[in-house]
Chains A and B, each alone.
Chain A
Amino acid sequence: MMMRRKMVLRVVSKLLIPFILLFALYVQWHGDFGPGGGFQAGVIFASAFVLYGLIFGLGTLRTALPSWLTRLVLAAGVLLYAGVGVASLMLGGNFLDYDVLAHNPLHGQHYGIILVEFGVGLTVFAGIITIFCAFAGRAAADVNPSEPEQAGDTGND
């Protein structure tokens, strides 16, 4: 709410956020060739949303990214990771042995690593957003105790 007048912050963050998201996607999908991977990509992707939440308020962030969605993504990431392990079990390999995921072991390794890193990215992204919103929601509720219902709706996960 205090940020409503900070024109420079609003304009600059709006300019920056698409590039932060794009960079996170690059780090996610290019992690097997350059530095980076799911963990870093998840944090960078989340940091774009954290910046958005800091500048435009928690309610706006929660409109763009509702709490059911972050909770879903949080669970989907670990499920994807463990699911790749179960899939390799089903195909006759050991748990998380990606060799069996494709006809060529090298391709299987590549598919497995991309899926697993994507799972890490999803969980890390949702985890950071969840923790940030829980903390910031508590702070907002303490600042405006007169509106506990609204704080409960926007801030809490």
Chain B
Amino acid sequence: MNIEIITSDLLEVATLVIMGITGLAIARIRNLFAVVMLSGIYSLMGATLYVILDAVDVAFTEAAVGAGASTVLMIGTLALTSDRELATPNARTVKGIFVCTLIFAALVYGSFDMPLYGDPLAPVHQHVAPRYLGESMGEIGLPNVVTSVLASYRGYDTMGETFVIFTAAVGVITLIGRARRKKSGKDGGSGS
């Protein structure tokens, strides 16, 4: 094993440990403002992990959306609600831990059927990936294969994703963008 692989493995383990600690802290802390900040840190560590795994496009999205946009939106939500979490009764905590342990065990059991980490013979590397990697330069002509796959080979899916974002924004406008205006109209003038 060369030194580069060992270093990247160590980095992965360290990042995962920090993510685990952040997750535990999120579960323990009652101050929701701190929880939002910690979830931003969790997303940043996730982005770091993707960089180590050479998935820079995914890391980019995770840093921009997970650590940036969603943190701002969560703070906006805190401004609307409360930044204190109510204490959960102990009996419910025990039940919750029980359910989480069951799901964790089921996930670990399921992971035994998955191909080994980094296995080049895994089905995902045998299906369409060789064609994308081998022939996209001749068919699309872009050095970034991720862009070729997203925008051309899978252009239809990306259009669906864009429509999802459009629908989300329209949904937010109809749910909380308009309601206040109607209500303030009622409060403001009896004549309207």
Interface residues of A (CB under 8 A from B): 27, 31-37, 39-40, 43-44, 46-47, 50, 54, 71, 74-75, 77-78, 81-82, 85, 95-96, 98, 105-106, 109-110, 112-113, 116-117, 119-120, 123-124, 126-128, 130-132, 134-139, 141-143, 148-149, 151-152, 155-157
CB pair B162–A32 under 8 Å, yes or no, is no
B191 contacts A by Cβ under 8 Å: no
CB pair A123–B76 under 8 Å, yes or no, is no
Please give, as numbers and ranges, the residues of chain B lying within 8 Å of A132 by CB-CB distance.
Answer: 72-73, 76
Query: Number of residues in B with C-beta < 8 Å to the partner?
Result: 51
Please measure, in the bound complex, the distance between the C-alpha atom of A39 and the C-alpha atom of B61, giving whole angstroms.
8
Please measure, in the bound complex, the distance between the C-alpha atom of A39 and the C-alpha atom of B56, giving whole angstroms.
14
Q: Main secondary structure on chain A at its contact with chain B?
A: helix
Q: When the two chains form the complex, which single residue of A31, A123, A151 contacts B144, counting CB atoms closer than 8 Å?
A: A31
Q: When the two chains form the complex, which single residue of B64, B142, B168 contacts A43, counting CB atoms closer than 8 Å?
A: B64
Please give, as numbers and ranges, the residues of chain A lying within 8 Å of B162 by CB-CB distance.
Answer: 77-78, 81, 119-120, 123-124
CB pair A123–B166 under 8 Å, yes or no, is yes
CB pair A152–B166 under 8 Å, yes or no, is no
